[in-house]
Structure 1
Amino acid sequence: MTIPQRRIGRDGLLTGVLSLGSWHTYDRMDFRDAVTLLRTAVDAGITLFDVGVYGLPGSPPVFTDVLFSAMVRAAGLRREDYLLSAKLWLEGYPAQSLRDQLENALFRAGVAHADLVILGDLRRDDTDFRALVADLASLRASGLIRQWGVNNWSAGAIRAVHDIAVAEGAPGPAIAQLKYSVARRSIPDGTPFESVFARGVSLQASDVFEGGVLLGKGGRQVGRDPGDVRQRIADSAADLAKVASSLGATPAQLCLAFTLTHPANTTTLFGATSAEQLSDNLEAVALVNRVGASALRSLVEPFWADRDAVDPEGP
């Protein structure tokens, strides 16, 4: 099957409603299997690949982004066949410039530009939004990026940086990557983000499986736990599997299908470690069409774990 395409932002790049992440993925796979996975994804209409530089000081090196460049060559893909999304981190900004980070990321991925860059979590109160907007505009003018977005920012911070971009006549944030799943809904479904999406900023759903916890799996590195609800999520996995089974679906398909029902969602980011797993997960699109968005949302309502546990304004 070929999945539908949606725009990043109001009038940006077209991409498939599903996209693939690389965090702790390709360096766990047989290389030939990884190439088959990539080719299967592109043939199915998945064109956006998150290949951020995820290595941390003092931690073992991570090479999924470097492997991605080799996978592209082995799969016979042209640069125009896929969109590359890179991460830029703000912890060391502005001492560590966005340009230096991006040039390193592009070198590792073996490309001349990123179609999308996502700014990492906003952990400081003194980040200069005006300088950020100017730096990103410079990167775009240099042909190094095409669009940009943010990862797990608050609704207020996104509105603030968007206002600056409009005032400066510069490109603003096109997409917000947010934790969004049957368990974590309070922020993307909340009132504060309605005003963000109304500005034309679209949603990229991430952490949709809670690192495998929603699928009854464990043992993988998992991200932050806003609201301290992860145990509640783990405890709900068996019941979620029963609901999926009643629909003739897998838990993964149900989790993915739910995210596709959000009206602002451009694309849902997830990981897969085999072409078979990927092909199975593509059926989430058919599940939405078969069951209906409203019915799906009602069925998974009991699994909303972060209801009243986090501020819908976001981090």
Structure 2
Amino acid sequence: MTFTGHIPQRQLGPGGPEVPVFALGSWNIWDRMEARDRRALMERAVETGSAFFDVAYYNMGPHAEASRTDLLFGETLRELGLARSDYQLCGKLWLWEYPATGFADQMRVSLDRIGAGRGGPESFETVVVGDFMGEVDIAQVVRDVQAEITRGSFASWGVNNWPAAALRLALDTAAEEGLTPPSFAQLKYGLVRRSVAEGEFYGKWFADGTLALQASDAFEGGILVGKLAPQRKIGADVGGIRERIVAAYPEVLRIAEEFGATPAQLGIAFCLAHPATANVLFGASSVTQLEDNLGAIALLERIGADAIRTATAGLWLDREVRADGVWAPE
């Protein structure tokens, strides 16, 4: 069914922008599509008000794979001639090679690759700082982020896979020095992985409004929408529960069908049922896939958050996994 409305917006945390409840990712996405399909997907995202794009230069740390996905994204923007007001951008600042590769350099490269100075965007609305590995001077990270905000590279920021203690230090540093604090956390969150977002560490910040949640990897690399043996690189299996996730798919499908929905719609609706969720980040590689995902909005309105959470309570598989936000590479 074709979506005919305009998707809702929520605030991406205190001081963050109003954003659509959908966020479209770029990792292993734009470089898997033909040019006409990229144009069609981007145009449909604009039409439905879901043109919030997470775009990064993936060539550091575990992602040192010379990906062209951001280059292709920028090319598509220019081909369509979209006005800057038609879309929002969320960039990435990586900590893997920081501070040897500083944030100013990372911003320059990221913006250049998507076309700054060639008709492309000159800034992002917001960025995510992550992934967290090893020893990092958190106070200096906050100061360096502020320098980019002052420069006009972006206006707000969030974190991805930070230990709770590091995030606490970032919040305290920002408060003590009058700097911009992180306003959201991008976390693995969905039907099967809930411990970080709903646990004692991050949960308190979501509950009191300190942070908004950007739900990421809700489909477990496609497993929870029926792609039980993904052929492409997918996110880390924190806690080593992936076999259990594969085994849980039939139950996901059963619940979705009982609600008259698809597994993707159920997964997104579940994420949006969390009151702290600002938006859900997923990878859509076709208009058909985006249209299906858009149906999550009607599902949530029709069934309600409480009923969805009750029906899916048994799918929480990472209850015993360490839940302080630390990223554990495979």
Bin the TM-score by the shorter chain. Answer: over 0.9
Decide whether the 8 Å contact of 2:58 with 2:65 is kept in 1.
no
The verdict on how the C-alpha distance between 1:59 and 1:117 changes in structure 2, with shifts beyond 3 A counting, is closer
Decide whether the 8 Å contact of 1:15 with 1:47 is kept in 2.
no
1:2 to 2:12 alignment? no
Shift of 1:312: 2.2
Q: Which residue of 1 aligns with 2:166?
A: 157
Shift of 1:195: 2.5
1:313 to 2:310 alignment? no
Decide whether the 8 Å contact of 1:20 with 1:271 is kept in 2.
yes
1:40 to 2:50 alignment? no
The verdict on how the C-alpha distance between 1:199 and 1:243 changes in structure 2, with shifts beyond 3 A counting, is closer
Alignment of 1:226-241 (within 5 A): 226-241=238-253
**Dislocated runs of 4+, deviation >6 Å:** none
Q: Which residue of 1 aligns with 2:199?
A: 190
Amino acid at match of 1:35: R
Give the percent of matched residue pairs that are identical in Structure 1 and Structure 2: 43
Task: Flag structure 2 segments of 5+ consecutive residues without an equivalent.
Answer: 116-120
Shift of 1:112: 1.2
2:17 to 13, 16, 19: 13
> What does the per-residue CA deviation read over 1:14-66, in whole Å, with 9 as the maximum and x for residues that have no partner?
11011100110111111111111011012111132111111347954211111
Alignment of 1:152-301 (within 5 A): 152-197=161-206, 198-217=208-227, 218-301=230-313
Cα distance in structure 2, aligned partners of 1:195 and 1:303: 22
2:114 to 109, 130, 151: 109
1:55 to 2:67 alignment? no
Amino acid at match of 2:286: S
Shift of 1:174: 1.1
1:66 to 2:71 alignment? yes
* Structure 1 SS opposite 2:201: helix
Q: Which residue of 1 aligns with 2:92?
A: 87
TM-score (norm 2): 0.92
Cα distance in structure 2, aligned partners of 1:56 and 1:267: 26
Cα distance in structure 2, aligned partners of 1:70 and 1:55: 19
* Structure 2 SS opposite 1:19: strand
Question: Over aligned residue pairs, what C-alpha RMSD do you find?
Answer: 1.4
Decide whether the 8 Å contact of 1:207 with 1:270 is kept in 2.
yes
Residues paired across the two proteins, number: 313
1:98 to 91, 97, 103: 103
> What does the per-residue CA deviation read over 1:113-165, in whole Å, with 9 as the maximum and x for residues that have no partner?
1111111111113x111211111111111111111111111222212101100
Amino acid at match of 1:313: D
Cα distance in structure 2, aligned partners of 1:80 and 1:20: 17
1:30 to 2:34 alignment? yes
Task: Flag structure 1 segments of 5+ consecutive residues without an equivalent.
Answer: none
* Structure 1 SS opposite 2:198: coil
Cα distance in structure 1, aligned partners of 2:268 and 2:236: 20
